[in-house]
Structure 1
Amino acid sequence: MPLVSIEQVAGHIFDYIVIGKSNFSYLHGYSHHIHLCFQTAGLTLASRLSENADWSVLVLEAGNAHLDSENHPLITRPGQFGMQIGNPEYDWGFKTVPQKFSDNIEYLWSRGKGLGGTSAMNFSVWTFPPKEDIDNWEKLGNPGWNWANFEKHATRAITYIPLEHTNPSLSVEAFNVWDGNKPHGEGPLQVAHPRCVLDVDIKMHQASFSRLHGEFGSWNFFQTLLSMGFVQSRAPYHGDSHGCYFALNNVHPTLHSRTYAATASQDNAFQRQNLSVLVGAEVTVILSSDSKDDEFEASGVEFLHKATNRKYCALSRKEVILSAGSLKSPQILELSGIGKPEILSKLGINVKVPLEGVGENLQEHLFIGCTFELKEDYSGETYDLLRDSVQQSEHVDLYSKGQGIYMTGIVNMANFPLKEIASDAEALYDTQKLRIHQDIKEGRYPPGLAEQYELQLQYHQRNALDCEFVSLSGSLSGPNLPRPGKKYYTIIGFLNHTFSRGTIHSSSSNPYDPPLMDPHYFEHDIDLQAFINEVKYIRKIVKTAPLKDVLSDVELNPGADIQTDEQIASWLKQNLSTGWHTVGTLSMLPKDRNGAVDPKLKVYGTKNIRVVDLSVVPLQIAAHTQATAYIIAEQAAGIIKGASLP
């Protein structure tokens, strides 16, 4: 078991780790690779690097381990998704700065706190982006970061397990989302469909297709789509997720528990003697050597050990690898003297590496839930029943038998271009194009951003998947609360490719002060208008059979009094949520285009600091991002090992 304490580290000698003290009661140790790991990708990468028995690898995790699954059902039970949000044991509970274009609201930005990062607290949805989303990364100046390599490294990350489903309402074909001619993967993380899918989710799947592609003639939505000349997305995990499909979840198909970065490492990597994991260790700064070279050479890190409330150091001979996630990785670089000089100077931080791209180019998914009440005679189960303590207890018991609502997950996915759900889509994009070209002419964009916008506009012409719909059997919206004893159904609208760009920068030189997180929500009006269109379209879906047959006339949220575009916009701003899919804050781009890392994920101006997390993604994707985080880690491992150079 690689979990170590300060005492164990101080009392044992690891490969390249030497324990000692300084006048500040620092603990010193040498390691080939040090991971600053608060995020999904970090453990995955550490596991791969520790396959080389000659390398010692140290992981520093700021949260707790949470590996005793019996004591952490909020992590392990698939149907408990979202229950960790706001709980300080599992959630860092970050907040944005007041949003200028969204009524000056501060939004909660939850992130996973513990081994495995957000993979231990997300909604377990496992989706892949379209092929072109990934190929766009290469077009922006990153050779080797393309769909072919993405798909290759996906098979290293996961093992897909086909499931003979137990719900009699479903056909096996409906869950045939993986190309039978493609490898199922050989990775440590298992993905599958949840064993149980709720009845109303099936109706939503059919209603979506009916509304989008004509009248629905039978329960067999495949036949309906084919008759209308439209094919259900049969390759959502092979580069084409256009359409509706039943998504995979990162759940173990026989143990019926969440699989995530920590559990995926337990069976193999956690048995290796050359891998050490210290939890409760919050990194404050990357240390540099006294090298006279112009480049910053990392010699190790300083961290606060929470259990002892003392600062220590760990030293590295090879590399420091930053996997703290899009929200924290930029702050750690800035506190180490790497970043925009104007930011660092204001904070009194000595500039060691001037790098304009640090903390810039933030992109995020937004979502909003619209909730509708089910009819009184609807007999199916929804998550609403868990608000009743008696029923909740019954389903805990059922879960132990492999039954009940805790066995379910989010499976209904629909991805479409905006123009398929909005009649004014072309006009919106024409207006956006005029704005962008005017801003370019006036020099309002930093280097590289104009190129990204041009790529987005071109991508729209080729049916970029701007919108996503996800459904949930229960209430997940605001501001109106569900009524006791009632059952609800929620359709969630996501914005995939927003034009608004934000920033994350340190708020002070104190590492314990959270960074300033400013996503610039709705700075580009097209984002708000697309969101409004999603809400209006969701209202059309619920008026379509077979979903309308099980819904009452009660709309919980937004509510019958929210009708005009202005009212919808106001409601959206008050009730939207982050998608927890932040990318781009240390973008993999050429340095002269405001990049922070090169295609080998090396931080510009440094000899031996890499970033391996979602902050390197230069352009947002039309997918939930956890799968992409794992795959970035797999490709990074290949790069470091020299096996797959971009």
Structure 2
Amino acid sequence: MGALGLATTAECLAPEHFDYVVIGGGTCGLTVANRLSETPGIRVAVIEAGGDERNNPNVTGVSGFGLGFNTAVDWQYETTAQVYANNQAIVYHAGKALGGTSTINGMTYIRAGKEEIDMWEESLGNKGWNWNNLYPYYLKSEGFSPPTEAQRAAGASFVDAYHGRQGPLDVSYPYGMLNGSFHSVVNDTWRQLGIPFNPDVNGGNLHGFSVWPQTLDREANIREDAAMAYYYPISDRKNLVTYRGVVDRILWDDKSSKGKKVVASGVQYVNSDGVTKTVLATKEVIVSAGAVRSPAILELSGIGNPQILHKYNIPTKVALHSVGENAQDQPNNAILFTTNQTLNGTAPYVTYATVQDLFGSETDAIAKKTADSLNDWADQTIQANEGVGDVAALKRLLKTQHDMIFTKGLSCVEILTSSSGHNMVSAFWISFPFSRGSVHIRSSNPQDYPQINPNYFLVDWDVTLQTKIAETAFQFWNTSPVHSMVVTQTSPPPETVPPNATATQLTSWLKSSFSANHHLLGTAAMLPRELGGVVDETLTVYGTENVRVIDASVLPIQVSGHLTSTLYAVSERAADIIKGVLE
């Protein structure tokens, strides 16, 4: 009964009772469902809108990025008009399949930095959430294959102690890596600009140039998504059942509510035939629908800002104004050049830099100026988000972020360098944007897509830093030895951004040409309630007895690196919290 294709048979017995009902069969949902169903006798149900895509070449293929975009495995969202970025709506991709967005992402395996994770506990009050506690779960999830001799010659390197070998998630370097000297040329050029080589970014320190591993099955040469790693190998477990459908809402047991906390009794969803079904939960409902869908499901279930709920005639079960707020994503720009050389193969090159790397002697003055602006930024952000939030609480979050960038000097800039045929590219973004937006329902109809508003470039520092990164990326391509490979600049066109472009010209181009980075998080943040939290350190939703959120929406603040590896680790730790393994 575990296979998705047999869910209809299970539905004939509905409403069935399970110990745990997991909303969303994506990266986090499948990880948690796997670990909970390891215990015989514990019954787990997963409800997922997408299907089994293990034979879909747009999912399994590793030959290019974005193969699954704008296909049936992509929700194909769009943001609201971005007021601070030319009022344009930005395409927003998210996976609609068993495996979630891990079926369509860039397969990047780069963890967050040690001090970033430590800040979750030290500065933000999330007891137990620090690097030392999370790091073992990075290792537990990972099944790392060291690079071959040929891959090492192509730039792959690693520190053995940083990697787990026995985890379900295959992590390795692709056989199709670009060979030749390009990685050495890129590395040497960054050294000319003062950026060191980092032999392995996955040990908690990201600073420098590195060649990263990917979530792929090297021998089969296919993507390793969450379904491949955590679901398909164990889908025959009799105590794990999957249903295909879109969740309407969480159901409540009003008779069993304990004190002021509400108790979830199950989940209502619409199956693939359009029939409304119910699955009951005797222990917990676990929301793992992602940073877009999870806050929407909470709101549809009566947990959220009463003003929003009242607008759509949804009875308020828990007044929690922060649901859907604190949304953070990174704007992604790219510049493109041609070369007379042929560069065929994967070139997963990344450079992480600090503000000191970019601004040098100006850094201290910039640190003071930005610190003096935190109150204004907090006030501006709350005004932009319809007055929701507390200035003092938001300032504390912004100050934590400011400390990460300026006091601790963490890498806050990411620049990818890659190539394809006769093209060379830099894609880049700010790791820790100060701009914050929201995700909210637009009606009481669960079939209606939520409103996604990251408020890209709301805070002027984000514009300043993105512009400085662009200048640095152009500087890179104008520095030897890589400069000798450049023939022409193709994007942006030289007439739009000439070689001597002003900051104003760069800023204008940046705001008109960026894309979403698809690293949205924070919309059900793990924070003390007084700081705008939606879940506590056990990931339990405030005001509920037995509803947890486990996905990117609980991450309180942006991370450098890429989300996937951290989401697996958070989910592994969350499963142990639920099992009672952790205090």
TM-score normalised to the size of structure 1?
0.84
- Aligned match for 1:239, one of 204, 211, 215: 204
2:319 maps to what in 1? 354
Query: What does 1:103-502 correspond to in 2, within 5 Å?
Result: 103-139=86-122, 140-166=124-150, 170-171=152-153, 174-178=155-159, 180-182=160-162, 184-198=164-178, 199=180, 201-203=182-184, 205-213=186-194, 231-266=196-231, 268-279=233-244, 281-291=245-255, 292-293=257-258, 294-306=260-272, 308-375=273-340, 378-381=341-344, 405=345, 408=346, 410-422=347-359, 424-438=362-376, 446=390, 448-459=393-404, 460-474=406-420, 487-502=422-437
Given that residues 206 and 546 in structure 1 are in contact (C-alpha distance below 8 angstroms), is that contact kept between their aligned partners in structure 2?
no
CA distance in 2, matches of 1:144, 1:282: 33
CA distance in 2, matches of 1:564, 1:490: 21
Distance 1:10 1:453, change over 3 A: closer
CA distance in 2, matches of 1:443, 1:160: 41
Percent identity (aligned): 30
Q: How far did 1:421 drift? A: 2.0
CA distance in 2, matches of 1:61, 1:276: 11
Q: Which amino acid aligns with 2:143?
A: T
Secondary structure (helix, strand or coil) at the match of 1:126 reads: coil
CA distance in 2, matches of 1:244, 1:97: 35
Given that residues 95 and 107 in structure 1 are in contact (C-alpha distance below 8 angstroms), is that contact kept between their aligned partners in structure 2?
yes
Q: Which amino acid aligns with 1:135?
A: D
Q: Which amino acid aligns with 1:629?
A: L
CA distance in 2, matches of 1:440, 1:164: 49
Q: Does 1:545 align with 2:480?
A: yes
CA distance in 2, matches of 1:90, 1:443: 34
Given that residues 142 and 163 in structure 2 are in contact (C-alpha distance below 8 angstroms), is that contact kept between their aligned partners in structure 1?
no
Q: Could you tell which deviates more after superposition, 632-641 or 428-437?
A: 428-437
Q: Which amino acid aligns with 1:533?
A: K
CA distance in 2, matches of 1:443, 1:305: 39
Q: Which amino acid aligns with 1:628?
A: T
Secondary structure (helix, strand or coil) at the match of 1:195 reads: coil
Query: What does 1:21-36 correspond to in 2, within 5 Å?
Result: 27-36=14-23
2:385 maps to what in 1? none
Q: How far did 1:101 drift? A: 0.8
2:556 maps to what in 1? 618
Secondary structure (helix, strand or coil) at the match of 2:480 reads: coil
Secondary structure (helix, strand or coil) at the match of 1:567 reads: helix
CA distance in 2, matches of 1:631, 1:181: 17
CA distance in 2, matches of 1:525, 1:326: 25
Q: How far did 1:133 drift? A: 0.6
CA distance in 1, matches of 2:172, 2:533: 36
Query: What does 1:562-573 correspond to in 2, within 5 Å?
Result: 562=497, 563-573=501-511
RMSD of Structure 2 on Structure 1 (CA): 2.1
Distance 1:237 1:453, change over 3 A: same
1:8 maps to what in 2? 9
Given that residues 74 and 80 in structure 1 are in contact (C-alpha distance below 8 angstroms), is that contact kept between their aligned partners in structure 2?
no
Q: How far did 1:201 drift? A: 4.7
Query: What does 1:31-42 correspond to in 2, within 5 Å?
Result: 31-42=18-29
CA distance in 2, matches of 1:78, 1:644: 37
Q: Which amino acid aligns with 1:522?
A: F
Q: Which has the larger radius of gyration?
A: 1
CA distance in 2, matches of 1:153, 1:328: 25
Q: How far did 1:513 drift? A: 1.3
Q: Which amino acid aligns with 2:153?
A: S
Secondary structure (helix, strand or coil) at the match of 1:156 reads: helix
Secondary structure (helix, strand or coil) at the match of 2:170 reads: strand
Secondary structure (helix, strand or coil) at the match of 2:223 reads: coil
CA distance in 2, matches of 1:41, 1:322: 9
CA distance in 1, matches of 2:51, 2:206: 36
Q: How far did 1:534 drift? A: 1.1
Q: Which amino acid aligns with 1:57?
A: V
Uncovered stretches (5+) of structure 1, i.e. residues with no partner:
12-18, 20-26, 214-229, 382-404, 475-485
CA distance in 1, matches of 2:164, 2:31: 19
Q: Which amino acid aligns with 2:411?
A: L
Distance 1:242 1:116, change over 3 A: same
Q: How far did 1:379 drift? A: 3.4
Distance 1:420 1:442, change over 3 A: closer
Uncovered stretches (5+) of structure 2, i.e. residues with no partner:
383-388
Given that residues 7 and 241 in structure 2 are in contact (C-alpha distance below 8 angstroms), is that contact kept between their aligned partners in structure 1?
no
CA distance in 2, matches of 1:119, 1:57: 21
Q: Could you tell which deviates more after superposition, 608-617 or 530-539?
A: 530-539
Output one character per residue of 1:473-507: Cα deviation in whole Å (capped at 9) or x when no partner: 13xxxxxxxxxxx7211111121000011111111
Given that residues 200 and 547 in structure 1 are in contact (C-alpha distance below 8 angstroms), is that contact kept between their aligned partners in structure 2?
no
Q: Does 1:520 align with 2:521?
A: no
Q: How far did 1:449 drift? A: 1.4
CA distance in 1, matches of 2:115, 2:397: 14
2:386 maps to what in 1? none
CA distance in 1, matches of 2:26, 2:238: 22
- Aligned match for 2:571, one of 621, 633, 642: 633
Given that residues 343 and 419 in structure 2 are in contact (C-alpha distance below 8 angstroms), is that contact kept between their aligned partners in structure 1?
no
Secondary structure (helix, strand or coil) at the match of 2:235 reads: helix
Output one character per residue of 1:15-51: Cα deviation in whole Å (capped at 9) or x when no partner: xxxx2xxxxxxx4111111111153111111111110
Distance 1:525 1:516, change over 3 A: same
CA distance in 2, matches of 1:526, 1:575: 18
Q: How far did 1:266 drift? A: 4.4
Given that residues 110 and 561 in structure 2 are in contact (C-alpha distance below 8 angstroms), is that contact kept between their aligned partners in structure 1?
yes
Output one character per residue of 1:245-287: Cα deviation in whole Å (capped at 9) or x when no partner: 11010111211111110001246421311111122x1001100
Residues matched between the structures, number: 566
Distance 1:200 1:336, change over 3 A: farther
Secondary structure (helix, strand or coil) at the match of 1:58 reads: strand
Secondary structure (helix, strand or coil) at the match of 1:430 reads: helix
Q: Could you tell which deviates more after superposition, 111-120 or 570-579?
A: 570-579
Distance 1:440 1:282, change over 3 A: closer
1:387 maps to what in 2? none
1:578 maps to what in 2? 516
Given that residues 373 and 552 in structure 1 are in contact (C-alpha distance below 8 angstroms), is that contact kept between their aligned partners in structure 2?
yes
Q: Which amino acid aligns with 2:74?
A: D
CA distance in 2, matches of 1:107, 1:267: 34
Secondary structure (helix, strand or coil) at the match of 2:449 reads: coil
Given that residues 56 and 275 in structure 1 are in contact (C-alpha distance below 8 angstroms), is that contact kept between their aligned partners in structure 2?
yes
Distance 1:10 1:619, change over 3 A: closer
Q: How far did 1:359 drift? A: 0.6
Q: How far did 1:194 drift? A: 1.4
Given that residues 300 and 444 in structure 2 are in contact (C-alpha distance below 8 angstroms), is that contact kept between their aligned partners in structure 1?
yes
CA distance in 2, matches of 1:469, 1:60: 37
CA distance in 2, matches of 1:317, 1:53: 16
TM-score normalised to the size of structure 2?
0.93
CA distance in 1, matches of 2:119, 2:507: 31
1:55 maps to what in 2? 42
Distance 1:628 1:252, change over 3 A: same
Q: How far did 1:564 drift? A: 2.2
Q: Which amino acid aligns with 2:332?
A: F
Q: Could you tell which deviates more after superposition, 46-55 or 415-424?
A: 415-424
Q: Which amino acid aligns with 1:572?
A: L
Secondary structure (helix, strand or coil) at the match of 1:273 reads: coil
CA distance in 2, matches of 1:352, 1:380: 57
Distance 1:10 1:129, change over 3 A: closer
Secondary structure (helix, strand or coil) at the match of 2:119 reads: helix
